[in-house]
Amino acid sequence: MTQPKTTHSTGRTPRRVASQRQGAMMVLVAVLLVILFVAAAFAIDIAYMHATRAELRTATDAAARAASEALGRLQDTDAAIQAAIDIAAENRVANKPLELARADIVLGNHTILPDGSFQFNEGLQPFTSIQVRGRRVEGSPSGPVPLFFGPLLGVTEFEPVQFATASRLDRDIALVLDVSGSMGNFGRFEALQNALNVFLVELQNMPGEEVVSLSVYNHNARRVQAMTPNLILISDAFEDESPGGYTAIGRGMQAGLDSIKKDVLSRPFAFKELIVMTDGNHNTGVSPLSIVPDAVKENVIVHTITFSEGANQTLMEQVAEEGNGLFLHAETNEELIDVFREVALQIPVVLID
């Protein structure tokens, strides 16, 4: 006789098991969502911190450049410090203007090391360098940077600091002046003499040490004064010149570039500039544009000045653009003086840290 089968119950129905599994999944999903939210919050704050550092670097660099430029142009330490404060305030860091304290701006000078790098010397004169400390920390004028989600992790603020040091550089300048026949018209040659003297006076009043050479050109080019820190020699040399002949701008530029490349007084770490002036059109010899690549290769900045309506502004503007320099134009004798003064006041400023 067959015995009947017995069924032992576990006390769980299929519906209850499914419900327990769903409950466990909900807990797991909730935990994962919390982890995901924390990771996303952490990523957002990290990105915000990187962006804030970049903004602080930009603002601090701009303040150091402005201070160094103002120091050289105005010869006033208070004006330089104020320039740094003003420019910093025009830059926003973490949605707030960067405020500098006067103690954040330090004057000094620089030393060029054998490897070509710069060393800032705090407090040493003559002042040629300015260091700016950009701070968003507790106790600074702008205060620390609040974080979005940091408080969830127990971190409420971010305190970045950036340093920037800007320095003015002494200049080696090769002047290249037009003495072609057209310069004898309308008092242009006398105007150029006056403009040159104003240029030299402005250089003489600069805090750096400028070394200058003078080349002139008509259909040929001549270097009439080698590189010299004695700017009176430049003025005296030009007084012996007179206008006549065609216009070989390229030959003049080559003579000026050679004085920078080959002169014994040309300094290896000085900022090098070629300043080319013409009142007319290039009409003989090598093209001015053909000289520019060699100048760029030698790290020589090419500034160009055109004088009078007859000057080829298009060509000389292209020369300046390819030579990484300024292009300036003067219509009148009075404007020529202003143009030469503006070029003289172009103080080169570099960030050294």
pLDDT tens digits, one per residue of 166-201: 988 778 999 999 999 999 999 999 999 999 999 999
Q: Which of residues 1 and 130 earns the better pLDDT score?
A: 130
Written as one string, the DSSP assignment of 63-111 is: HHHHHHHHHHHH--HHHHHHHHHHHHHTSBSSSSB----GGGEEEEEEE
Angle at 260 between CA 257 and CA 265, to 5 degrees: 160
Cα gap 179→313, rounded to integer Å? 18
The pLDDT value given to residue 36: 64
pLDDT at position 205 over 90: no
**Per mean pLDDT, which of 9-23, 39-53, 145-159, 242-256 is the most reliable?**
242-256
The pLDDT value given to residue 112: 77
Location of each CATH 3.40.50.410 domain in the chain: 171-351
- For the stretch 277-300, pLDDT in tens is 999 899 999 999 999 999 999 889
pLDDT at position 306 over 90: yes
The pLDDT value given to residue 2: 52
pLDDT at position 209 over 60: yes
For the segment 89-112, the average pLDDT, to the nearest whole number, is 94
The pLDDT value given to residue 252: 97
pLDDT at position 13 over 80: no
The pLDDT value given to residue 232: 95
For the segment 72-80, the average pLDDT, to the nearest whole number, is 85
φ/ψ of residue 19, rounded to 5: -65, -40
For the segment 317-322, the average pLDDT, to the nearest whole number, is 96
Amino acid letter for position 234: I
The pLDDT value given to residue 278: 97
Residue pair 347/72 in contact by the 8 Å Cβ criterion: yes
Nearest residue to 175 via CA among 123, 214, 131: 214
The pLDDT value given to residue 263: 86
pLDDT at position 64 over 70: yes
Of 25-29, 48-52, 138-142, 315-319, where does mean pLDDT reach its minimum? Answer: 25-29
Cα gap 259→341, rounded to integer Å? 23
Nearest residue to 193 via CA among 204, 178, 208: 178
- For the stretch 223-274, pLDDT in tens is 999 999 999 999 999 999 999 999 999 999 999 999 999 887 878 767 899 9
Q: Mean pLDDT of all residues in the chain? A: 88
Of 98-102, 144-148, 275-279, 284-288, where does mean pLDDT reach its minimum? Answer: 144-148
CATH topology of domain 171-351: Rossmann fold (3.40.50)
Task: Report residue 16's pLDDT band, with 50, 70 and 90 as the boundaries.
Answer: low
- Percentage of residues of the chain with pLDDT beyond 70: 86
Partnered with residue 132 across adjacent β-strands are 105, 164
The pLDDT value given to residue 348: 76
The pLDDT value given to residue 193: 96
| Contact residues for 201 (Cβ-Cβ < 8 A; gap 6+) | none
For the segment 105-116, the average pLDDT, to the nearest whole number, is 85
- For the stretch 325-351, pLDDT in tens is 999 999 999 999 999 999 998 877 778
The pLDDT value given to residue 128: 84
pLDDT at position 42 over 90: no
Structure token digits, residue 323: 């030579």
Whether the CA torsion 219, 221, 224, 228 is positive or negative: it is positive
